[in-house]
Amino acid sequence: MTRPTPRTPGAELPKHPTHLWNSPEPRRHYDVVVVGGGGHGLATAYYLVKNHGITDVAVIERGWLAGGNMARNTTIIRSNYLWDESSNFYDHALDLWEGLEDDLEYPILFSQRGVLNLAHTLQDVRDSRRRVEANRLNRVDAEWVDADGVKEICPIVNTSDDIRYPVLGATYQPSAGIAKHDYVAWGFARKAAEAGVHLIQDTQVTGFLTEGDRVTGVRTSRGDIGAGRVALAAAGRTATLTDELGIRIPIQSHPLQALVSELLEPVHPTVVMSNAVHVYVSQAHKGELVMGAGVDAFNGFGQRGPFHIIERQMAAAVELFPVFARAHLLRTWGGVVDVTPDASPIVGLTPYENLFLNCGWGTGGFKATPGIGDTFAHTVATGTPHPLVAPFALDRFVSGRLVDEHGAAAVAH
């Protein structure tokens, strides 16, 4: 097992870029219109160019580029999911992450520092060991470590047995890690814009133009824009759009909150997640402790959530990491995540021949970014679902072929 060595906070941060893309006037028509300029929309545009030579593409974003969940997530990347469908997909994404910096010719600070998913009860232990075995069968690097192993990997975890939810062990995926989310988005945006993709900000898609079973364009706050194909990557707001076409999708949008501490010396060498006590923690490159919680219970689009969730999350963090008790909370925020009944995404075709769906990533879609860009671009370009996303089609809710990942989602939802 390789042990990550702590580094000086901030040492590897590159300089802030001055100019990465232009803001063109929208044309009247594009081959492909991507709705949503988050990580998924930008990555899709990039792979449409790279793998399919399609450059007549617009990415339409209601706010600013990657200002949605892409700017709000806790940046954890891993592929230790339970079911074959998921681990195959996320492991493909992880492969792409490993080459992404070279591919984008842009720093993304992908740091493979490993992830520990803690087990606190006998049932957690059994589920975790089962997931490790399933991961290994899918050639995902995973191992079971006991409480002493946890302590060795991340010395600041409280492994004493007199806390309310003692740490009994953990799954460990050494190749998991974090990346700098903004840089990832900017890297994709820069390459896509260089190839001629129009990145159109401050423009909301409000509906569609249709003819029979085809979508012929999108209505936007800046007028109608024609489209040969429309790719949805609007995360929690997808149902608002598809409702208008009479396509129902089983999504509930929930607030998901996170927070950061002030900058600290390197104390936390890996990523630690606990499903049972609802906290996950890593230390950002500059030195902040970054923490997330489980989703807030109610539906919400406010990009904020109630304070008692933060309180609970901090209580759990301080119990697990007693050294955090002295850290100051700097900032809290919320995103709007799109939760499906089986905690897996919805990707693929719709009843409209040239309208494609990508949503339902809930609390875990950042790690998917290059993987979904690649496979969704394939789906849009060829009109056929990429084999890695085929199991995530909308019709699974009718066929009953669910990919129930609540256990491996690592965040309660």
Partner 1 sequence: MQLIDCPWCGPREENEFGYGGEAHIAYPENPAELDDTEWAHYVFFRDNPQGAFAERWVHTVGCRRWFNAVRDTVTYRFLAVYPIGAPRPDVPVLAPRASAPAAASPDHDAHAVAALEPTDAR
Ligand X SMILES: Cc1cc2nc3c(=O)[nH]c(=O)nc-3n(C[C@H](O)[C@H](O)[C@H](O)COP(=O)(O)OP(=O)(O)OC[C@H]3O[C@@H](n4cnc5c(N)ncnc54)[C@H](O)[C@@H]3O)c2cc1C
Query: Beta 252-263 vs 288-295: how paired, if at all?
Result: antiparallel
**Of 136, 162, 176, whose CA–CA distance to 128 is shortest?**
136
Query: Beta 29-35 vs 57-60: how paired, if at all?
Result: parallel
Kindly state whether residue 63 participates in binding ligand X, applying the rule CB under 6 A. yes
Judged by beta carbon, residue 60 or residue 295, the one nearer partner 1 is 295
Q: Under a CB-based contact definition with an 8 Å cutoff, are residues 184 and 71 in contact?
A: no
Kindly state whether residue 268 participates in binding ligand X, applying the rule CB under 6 A. no
Radius of gyration of the chain (CA): 21
Burial class of residue 208 (count of CB atoms within 10 Å of its CB; 0-12, 13-18, 19+)? buried
Kindly state whether residue 225 participates in binding ligand X, applying the rule CB under 6 A. no
Q: Residue length, the chain? A: 413
Judged by beta carbon, residue 233 or residue 289, the one nearer ligand X is 233
HEC assignment per residue over 261-310 = EEECCCCCCCEEEECCCCEEEEECCCCEEEEEEEECCCCCCCCCCCHHHH
Judged by beta carbon, residue 212 or residue 302, the one nearer partner 1 is 302
Q: Under a CB-based contact definition with an 8 Å cutoff, are residues 116 and 271 in contact?
A: yes
CA atoms within a 13 Å half-sphere pointing along the CA-CB vector of 161:
6
Kindly state whether residue 207 participates in binding partner 1, applying the rule CB under 8 A. no
Minimal distance, residue 265 CB to partner 1, in Å: 34
Q: Name the segment binding ligand X (CB under 6 A); options: 5-13, 26-34, 322-330, 358-366.
A: 358-366
Judged by beta carbon, residue 13 or residue 247, the one nearer partner 1 is 247
Minimal distance, residue 282 CB to ligand X, in Å: 8
Kindly state whether residue 258 participates in binding ligand X, applying the rule CB under 6 A. yes
Q: Under a CB-based contact definition with an 8 Å cutoff, are residues 271 and 367 in contact?
A: no
- Choosing from 64, 121, 298, 353, the residue that interacts with partner 1 (CB under 8 A) is 298
Measure the CA–CA gap between 315 and 163, rounded to whole angstroms.
Answer: 12
Instruction: Please list every residue from 288 through 317 that binds ligand X, using CB under 6 A.
Output: 292
Query: Beta 252-263 vs 76-77: how paired, if at all?
Result: unpaired
Q: Which amino acid is at 165?
A: Y
Place of tokens 């963090």: 317
Kindly state whether residue 40 participates in binding ligand X, applying the rule CB under 6 A. yes
Minimal distance, residue 151 CB to ligand X, in Å: 23
Instruction: Please list every residue from 336 through 355 that binds partner 1, using CB under 8 A.
Output: 341
Kindly state whether residue 60 participates in binding ligand X, applying the rule CB under 6 A. yes
DSSP symbol at 191: H
Structure tokens at 28: 């009247």
Residue 73, SS3 per DSSP? coil
Q: Which amino acid is at 167?
A: V
Residue 248 touches which of partner 1, ligand X, none (Cβ within 5-8 Å per kind): partner 1
- Choosing from 111, 138, 220, 253, the residue that interacts with partner 1 (CB under 8 A) is 253
Measure the CA–CA gap between 285 and 111, rounded to whole angstroms.
Answer: 9
Q: Report how many residues bind ligand X under the rule CB under 6 A.
A: 40
Minimal distance, residue 264 CB to partner 1, in Å: 29
Minimal distance, residue 13 CB to partner 1, in Å: 36
Kindly state whether residue 357 participates in binding ligand X, applying the rule CB under 6 A. no
Measure the CA–CA gap between 144 and 154, rounded to whole angstroms.
Answer: 15
Kindly state whether residue 205 participates in binding ligand X, applying the rule CB under 6 A. yes
Kindly state whether residue 39 participates in binding ligand X, applying the rule CB under 6 A. yes
Kindly state whether residue 367 participates in binding ligand X, applying the rule CB under 6 A. yes
Residue 375 touches which of partner 1, ligand X, none (Cβ within 5-8 Å per kind): none
Kindly state whether residue 39 participates in binding partner 1, applying the rule CB under 8 A. no
Judged by beta carbon, residue 88 or residue 159, the one nearer ligand X is 88
Structure tokens at 345: 């995404």
- Choosing from 48, 75, 89, 168, the residue that interacts with ligand X (CB under 6 A) is 75
Contact positions toward partner 1, by CB under 8 A? 237, 239-240, 248-253, 297-302, 306-308, 341, 397-400
Contact positions toward ligand X, by CB under 6 A? 35-41, 60-63, 66-70, 72-76, 204-205, 233-235, 237, 241, 256-258, 292, 335, 337, 361, 363-367
